[in-house]
Structures are given as structure tokens and as C-alpha cells.
Structure 1
């Protein structure tokens, strides 16, 4: 088995929304192994078992990453078609923790993973980014119960993320001026 080089992205103390270490409250580079070496030596590094190691956890600079390298999805749960179920988050690629109360089977995508709204990790990010109200509206659109944790109920979101989200929403709504959805 190959050695996995620790990075902040693999540590439970890392706050991916704020890009900070929960122990030092300092801003960190989540994929720089030099940042986490000291924590690993001091026993402060706590491995988040849901985060899937990426190429930067196996190949240190200046070592080249093999052209066809991919993360190991062999131990991930699979959908009915045998596609691995994972979610891309600010922390990295993670094993999904499905939201409680959603009973439909999840469908995986080999490149994009599962939509964030269906996972515990993704919902936390959506609440942080969009605020509790807008995240709840998105969850309702998708037919998913939103799990708002204590302390998240008053989240107002991040202004830039809210603007991005609303801009995408406007651009995906049908234009009544176009005939049958035709493009210009």
C-alpha cells in the first residue's frame, strides 16, 4: 500500500468553508503537505475517513503523477449501475453521507459524483454559501429534506455565492420571448 501524505484537506480540524485550521484559526492551503507535517508530528492531525486521498496525497513535487492515475473508488458504495457514490466538496472528494429522510436511490456520476444537495457534507456547504433560506428553497426544489444543524439556522450565506447562484438561476429559466425554447 502506498504512503499517503497528510494534507489539511484530510484532517478533521480543517474548516473547508473558511479554509482555516480549527486548532490554530490560521488560513491554510488545504493541499500543501508542508502545512500538515507539524500537526502530524505533534499528534494533532486527525484523519477524516470520508475524504478520499487525491494525487497530491501520493505524489509529492517534483514527482510526476502518472497520466492515467485516478482516485481509488473500490471501497465506496455503488449505485444500482455499479457507479461509485462520492461527492465533490470544498474539502475534496468525499464518501457520501446521505441526508436523513431522503429515500430515493442515489445515482452516481463517474466524473461529477452525487449532487451536493443529497449529502450531509454538501448541504452544510450550501447552507454556508447560500444561507439557510435559499438552501432550503433549493432542497425543496429537489425534493430533499434540508438538515440544518445547530448554529446554521441563521446563516445568511456569502454574498458572492448568492449572486452567482441567482445569476445561474436566471440563465437557466426558460425565456418567454423565445419560441419553444429556441436559442437566438
Structure 2
């Protein structure tokens, strides 16, 4: 930190990630999520350090270099719990929900719109998993009229969702225009 060397600062999250991996491999009966979440957090910490360094040295447009790495970091956070929500237990979707809220909160604190949007999308995926996975598990046991009632219910929900999306589009468009005119420090 005192040398203000980005390379040395970026090494700290990597070393912390490696230390966590050695702990998870030796002492914990950890699954794949213990490794990918640690790697995602380390990558996001490095991205934030890199962004701080770029802000100090270059104009704002140069910060776009870190966007793909940031998205990969968020993907590393949520990919394994998403898969585990489908394959083992729907409770893993709650982990995805918490991670999405944390990413959106991080975006609000750092005033970066794409983080808020990314976190919101992760929350949406988690809600779909929380609702959809149990419904899919029920389908094979149903037959006859129950399937038609389910199809009618899903159709009704789709019409409701489309109506709400149309209302939401207007609200999002208005908010997006307001953010564009009055960015007040948002990236």
C-alpha cells in the first residue's frame, strides 16, 4: 500500500484466495462453491484495486477495461450455487439471492450502475430458481386435469408478468433517462 504498486496490492487477494483453498481442501469438507466463491471474491477485489489505480492515472473511459473481469468475478460467485440449486437442493438458490443482493449493494455503495444491474439480474435468477425448481419437481407426479390447471395458471402468471413488464419498462426508461441526465458521480 505504501509503495502504491498495483501489482503488489493485487497479489494480496490472490494469496488470500490460495490460503482459503488450502484451508478448504485440508480442514473443511467443502464443495466446489467454496473454491469458486473465493476465486470470485479475489477477482472482484483485484478489479476494484485495478479500477482505483486506473482512476488515479487515466480518464474515466479507460475503466471499461475491467468490465469483463468484473462480470467473470460475479459469474464465479453464482455459477456453482445455481447449478447446485437445480441438482441438489433449492436452498442453494437462497445463497444466489444473498450474493445478488450483496453485488447490487456493492454497486450502490460504489455508485456503479452495471453492478446494480448485474446484482439485480442475479437476484432475478435466484427468484426464478426458488420458484421454478420446486415446480419442475412436481410435474412428473401430476397427470390429467392437474397439468391443464398448471398450464392455465402459468399462462395467467405470464399475462400478469407481461403487464407488469410493460409498466416496468416505462419506469425503467424514465429512471435510466434521469440517471443519464443527473449522474451525480455514478459510473
TM-score, normalising length from structure 2? 0.26
Larger radius of gyration: 2
Judging by fraction of residues, say which structure has more strand: 1
TM-score, normalising length from structure 1? 0.26
Judging by fraction of residues, say which structure has more helix: 2
